[in-house]
Structure 1
């Protein structure tokens, strides 16, 4: 499948909710230049509070599993629907985006998480997933997307 995915995950705790740590967190990019690798490709970037939000990059020459990222090729279009996932707020009814060849979508959502028992402090995650169908220029995801799905919510 001729698909390029850039998945960016920024994680933080209560410590980064206020100044000065919040300024560092808010400066973390939500897009990066793509590596010069052919599709299919997953360009994964993780930025963590404990590493001062320095990008940790991983490149995989395969697409995420279906339960991680809902991609379905239907004739000449790509159907994209992110799975419900976990965390608060719960998102049960996810939108669907249909991409024509050459188009891309930026999908953003945030969540807060605790331990299984609910006894640990909350931690927070901002997910930014850019998905391109067809050849993508290295700077493609640095521009405005054809579609933008913004599921960010106010997190306590």
Structure 2
């Protein structure tokens, strides 16, 4: 069964080696992992993008419908959540954590990072994806507090 009352906030932070150390890394590390939700009815996807080139200033967009790159299935009142991983990012995730099952009103924060090679010059680019996913309607400040469920798939990126 498709998940119809889901609220997804996808926070994506991306950078290059310029932000791997020093003041630029401090700025990157201060980037939030959650934002207030816009006043919309679920199903809702709220994407927030922060790039090194923009000084990590958040840009957001909202759309209805299921999110890309996340498997959501509702069964017997529980929402099964499992983000998919890109086959192009490193390090490879040969073993992944199991899916999380959320009861109505619950939410999860799932973090995963990647390293990519630029096809033109071979330089590395980096990305941290933070997914905040709620089963059912959510107040605008829901994701600003500590998550009741947390999955950390962050790995050393070299």
Return the TM-score normalized by structure 1: 0.93
Partner of 1:127: 129
Give the drift of 1:135: 1.5
Structure 2 counterparts to residues 29-48 of structure 1, below 5 A: 29-48=32-51
Partner of 1:104: 107
Whole-Å separation in 1 of the counterparts to 2:118 and 2:57: 25
Give the drift of 1:107: 0.1
**Tell me, which stretches of 5 or more residues in structure 2 are unaligned?**
none
Contact 2:118/2:125, CA 8 A, preserved across alignment: no
Cα RMSD over matched residues? 1.3
CA deviation map 1:11-66 (0-9, x unaligned): 0000001111111111111000101111000000000000100111000011214x
Whole-Å separation in 2 of the counterparts to 1:25 and 1:84: 22
Whole-Å separation in 2 of the counterparts to 1:103 and 1:63: 18
Partner of 2:93: 91
Matched, 1:3 2:6: yes
Contact 1:84/1:92, CA 8 A, preserved across alignment: no
- Give the ranges of 4+ consecutive aligned residues of structure 1 lying more than 6 Å apart after TM superposition: none
Give the drift of 1:84: 2.9
SS in 1 for 2:26: helix
Contact 1:102/1:134, CA 8 A, preserved across alignment: yes
Return the TM-score normalized by structure 2: 0.92
**Tell me, which stretches of 5 or more residues in structure 1 are unaligned?**
none
